Amino acid sequence: MSLLLKEPVERVQKLLKEFDQNQKVILLDSSARTALEAASSLGCDVGAIVKSLIFKTQQNYTLCLVAGDKKASLKKIKKNLNIKDASMASADDVKNVTGFTIGGVSPIGHLNKMTVLIDNSLERFNYLFAAAGHPNCVFKIDFKNLVQITEGLILDITE
C-alpha cells in the first residue's frame, strides 16, 4: 500500500487541499523521523524543518511548532500559557490525541483540537517542511500559510 493512502496521511492531504488546491504531500525515499533526517532527505537547512511537539499542559495538550535547529523551552511555554506545569506528552498520549505516531506528527489534521504555539524563529525561512502523518511524508509551506492553516499563535518558545 502506498504511504499516501494511509489514513493519517490522507487526513493531512485532505486539509492541505481544502486550504490550497496546489498543496500536496511529498513522499520521501528515506525517513524524515527526525529534523536532521528530514533536512538531509530534502536538502534543506535543518532549521526549515518544523518539529511538531506535543506538551501535556495541566488538563490539556498543546502543540508547539519549533524550528528543527531549536529546542523548545518549557519555561517559555509555561510563561506564555500562564500555567505552572507542562511536560512532553508520552508517545501513547501523542498517538491518542493527534492520531499520529511520533516521527510523523503533522501540525494539522489532529483528532483533537489543541492550542498551537508557533516559534517565531521559523519566520526566517522562505519555505518550511512539516511532517504529513508518516515519517516518510512531508509538506512544504511558507510561514504565513503555516500560521493561517494551524491558527497558531506566534511566540518565542525556544531556548
> What are the pLDDT digits (tens) for 80-134?
999 999 999 999 999 999 999 999 999 999 999 999 999 999 999 999 999 999 9
pLDDT reported for residue 131: 96
pLDDT-based confidence at 58, cuts 50/70/90? confident
Taking alpha carbons only, the member of 132, 158, 100, 111 closest to residue 32 is 132
What are the extents of the domains in the chain? 3-155
Strand duo 128-134 + 49-57: pairing: parallel
Q: How many Å apart are CA 19 and CA 150, to the nearest integer?
A: 10
How much is the pTM?
0.95
SS3 82: coil
Predicted confidence at residue 30, as pLDDT, reads: 83
The CA-CA-CA angle for residues 42, 61, 102, to 5°, reads 35
The grid coordinates of residue 80 equal: 506564555
CATH for the stretch 3-155 = 3.90.960.10
SS3 content of the chain, % helix, strand, coil (to 5): 35, 25, 40
d(CA 150, CA 86): 21
The confidence band for 5, taking pLDDT boundaries of 50, 70 and 90, is: confident
State mean pLDDT over 31-35: 85
What is the distance between the alpha carbons of residues 40 and 6, in angstroms, rounded to a whole number? 24
d(CA 39, CA 28): 11
| H or E stretch covering 129 | strand 128-134
Beta carbons of 16 and 139 less than 8 angstroms apart: yes
CB 112 within 8 A of CB 61: yes
- 34 or 128: which carries more pLDDT confidence? 128
More confident of the two residues 98 and 3: 98
